[in-house]
Every structure is written in structure tokens, then in C-alpha cells.
């Protein structure tokens, strides 16, 4: 039964709000753990409830696993308050930041007709950048990355790694925000690619690969129609499959013709793909992934940035 419930920090719940899902207390009786309804989804969580829990030194409530999406959506508008709280540890903040981003991207990939969630993406990126800039340690966010591959988790992994790496190489605040937006949205064009092709276990046929390659230009077209994304954020979308030796797509750009943000996206896109479980391959360890990138993909990446990425991972993990 305990596997059906997950803990949520009391300090993440805002006074006089409805969380939107049932909240439970964990009670141990006769060496048996039970979960007792404390506040149902229709009720406002008021100060009296919080004060009573604090008085009894209760720092956690519990939700059903199936309600994590509801809870993540509840946290989204108050994410800035959560990450700035001194009452919440770095590991807990990292999990909340990750779950909120995953929820945003899962919403989009499951229902692309609702439109690209640019406002939600911008708010998440700016809040996460603020947290990263004020935190000297990258490991909580690195440790929370998902190693099961879905297009939406890949997007979040790439964005988080890219934000941390961008800070490491000294990009300015506005630059980190711009690259972060582009990284979180770099694969939006895949919503127009057949799901069976994207998740095929075997090798793609030439025709299937040509269809997959279309996601870059489809993504660019989608974001261009939004009208509220600055031009700099397009580079990770346009260029995450370009290679330094000119053998990438869609334009076959070489070396300095590829923007710095595109070069960052190319490195991290491949690294995350190698270190997560795919329908056709197991996840590689970081060292193995980097070795494959160096030995089997020679010329694909900017050498200076790739060396800095290796240094960043050594410091972060």
C-alpha cells in the first residue's frame, strides 16, 4: 500500500489554496503504516491545518502516485516561491523543478494542438536559472535526471544539463535563459512525426530517417508562428543535429557557421540520448557515452566545447 503514496513537503503547500488532489497523513499503528485522508481535493488548505501539522512536527503529507501530475501543475505558478524557500532542501527543490518541467512538456507532447506552452516554458526556465545561479552545486539537478527515454523527459534532461553547462562556461544570465528556452523546446517538431517511427526498436529505413529529420524544420516553423520567442532561442532548435564537420542536418553547416547555442545543443542532445534507456538500446554510463562521442563521432562536436562539457560533468557528478 505504501508504494501507492509519495511524500510532499508541507512547506510546498501555499496557505489558502486548493491543491487539487487528496492529501494524506502517514500513520504507523501496530507496526503497520496506513494513510489517512487529511484534506480532500475540494478543500482549501488553510493556516489552521498548517499550524496543526507544524505543532505536531509533521513536515510531510502524502499524495497518491496517480496524482503527481495534479500536484506538479499546482506547484507551477508558485515554483519561484518554492525554489527561494529556505525551508526546502536542494534535493527536494531539484525534484520539484524536474517534475514541473516534465509536466509542462508531457502536456504539450500528449496534446500538441493546445499550442506550444511558451509562457509556461519561459517561467520555468527563468525560475530554474535563478535557482542554478544561486546554488554552488549542480549534483541535485544532475541526480534527478530521468534515465527512461520519452521525448518529453529527453527535452527536460537536455534543458537542465544545458542550463547547468551554460553557467559553467560563463554565459550571461540572458544568454542562459535564451539557450534554456531553445533546449526545452528543441524537439517540438517531433509532434508531427509518426509515433511508431520515433519509437521503433530496430534501425530506421532511409525513408523513415528522412521523415525523422523533418522534425527540425517542423519545430522551427511551429515556434516561428508563436511570435513571442526571441531569435536566439531558435538556434538549439535549428542546429541540434548540425555537426562540426558538416555532416549533420538540415543544412550541413560546418564549424563557425553553427551558433554556440547549436553546438551546446548538439553535444547535450547526443549525450542524453546515449545515457538514457531507448527502445533499441540500454543506457550507457557517462564515461562510456563520452568515449563513444569522442571515438565514434569524431568531428561531430566543437572540440573546445566538448572538452569543457567533459570537465563540467567531472565537476558536477
Please give the domain boundaries of the chain with CATH numbers for all domains. 1-68 (no CATH), 89-316 (1.10.3210.10)
SS3 27: strand
Q: Which of 163, 226, 290 is nearest to 155 (CA)?
A: 163
Which tens digit of pLDDT belongs to each residue from 249-278?
999 999 999 999 999 999 999 999 999 987
Whether residue 143 has pLDDT greater than 70? yes
Of 242 and 146, the structure prediction assigns the larger pLDDT to: 242
- Beta-carbon contacts of residue 169 (< 8 Å; ≥ 6 apart): 305, 308, 312
Whole-structure pTM value: 0.91
Average pLDDT over residues 307-316: 92
- Residue found by looking up cell 544568454 in the block: 175
Residue 2 has what pLDDT?
A: 57
Extract the C-alpha cell encoding 58. 509533521
Of 20-29, 81-90, 180-189, 293-302, minimum mean pLDDT range: 81-90
Q: Which of 312, 261, 262, 266 is nearest to 293 (CA)?
A: 266
Whether residue 1 has pLDDT greater than 60? no
Of 24-28, 150-154, 167-171, 175-179, minimum mean pLDDT range: 150-154
The C-alpha atoms of residue 146 and residue 9 are separated, in whole angstroms, by 21
The C-alpha atoms of residue 312 and residue 317 are separated, in whole angstroms, by 9
Q: Which ranges in the chain belong to alpha helices (H)?
A: 47-55, 68-75, 79-84, 90-110, 118-133, 139-143, 151-168, 173-184, 195-198, 206-226, 234-239, 260-275, 286-295, 303-316
CB atoms within 10 A of CB 229: 19
Q: Which ranges in 86-150 belong to alpha helices (H)?
A: 90-110, 118-133, 139-143
Amino acid at each position: 500500500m505504501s508504494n501507492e503514496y509519495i511524500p510532499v513537503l508541507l512547506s510546498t503547500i501555499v496557505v489558502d489554496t486548493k491543491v487539487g488532489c487528496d492529501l494524506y497523513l502517514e500513520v504507523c499503528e501496530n507496526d503497520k503504516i496506513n494513510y489517512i485522508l487529511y484534506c480532500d481535493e475540494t478543500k482549501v488548505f488553510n493556516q489552521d491545518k498548517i499550524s496543526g501539522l507544524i505543532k505536531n512536527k509533521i513536515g510531510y503529507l502524502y499524495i497518491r502516485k496517480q496524482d503527481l501530475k495534479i500536484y506538479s501543475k499546482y506547484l507551477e505558478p508558485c515554483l519561484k516561491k518554492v525554489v527561494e524557500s529556505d525551508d526546502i532542501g536542494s534535493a527536494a527543490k531539484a525534484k520539484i523543478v524536474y517534475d514541473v518541467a516534465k509536466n509542462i512538456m508531457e502536456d504539450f507532447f500528449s496534446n500538441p494542438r493546445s499550442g506550444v506552452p511558451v509562457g509556461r516554458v519561459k517561467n520555468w526556465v527563468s525560475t530554474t536559472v535563478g535557482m542554478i545561479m544561486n546554488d554552488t552545486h549542480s549534483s541535485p539537478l544532475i541526480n534527478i535526471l530521468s534515465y527512461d527515454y520519452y521525448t518529453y523527459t529527453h527535452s527536460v534532461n537536455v534543458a537542465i544539463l544545458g542550463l547547468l553547462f551554460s553557467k559553467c562556461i560563463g554565459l550571461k544570465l540572458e544568454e542562459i535563459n535564451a539557450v534554456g528556452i531553445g533546449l526545452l523546446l528543441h524537439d517540438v517538431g517531433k509532434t508531427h512525426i509518426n509515433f511508431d517511427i520515433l519509437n521503433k526498436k530496430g534501425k530506421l529505413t532511409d525513408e523513415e530517417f528522412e521523415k525523422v529529420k523533418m522534425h527540425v524544420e517542423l519545430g522551427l516553423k511551429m515556434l516561428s508562428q508563436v511570435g513571442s520567442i526571441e531569435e536566439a532561442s531558435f538556434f538549439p532548435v535549428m542546429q541540434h543535429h548540425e555537426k562540426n564537420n558538416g555532416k549533420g542536418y538540415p543544412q550541413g553547416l560546418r564549424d563557425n557557421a553553427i551558433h554556440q547555442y547549436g553546438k551546446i545543443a548538439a553535444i547535450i542532445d547526443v549525450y542524453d540520448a546515449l545515457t538514457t534507456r531507448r527502445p533499441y538500446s540500454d543506457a550507457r554510463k557517462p564515461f562510456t557515452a563520452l568515449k563513444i562521442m569522442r571515438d565514434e563521432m569524431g568531428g561531430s562536436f566543437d572540440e573546445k566545447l566538448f572538452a569543457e562539457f567533459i570537465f563540467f560533468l567531472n565537476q558536477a557528478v
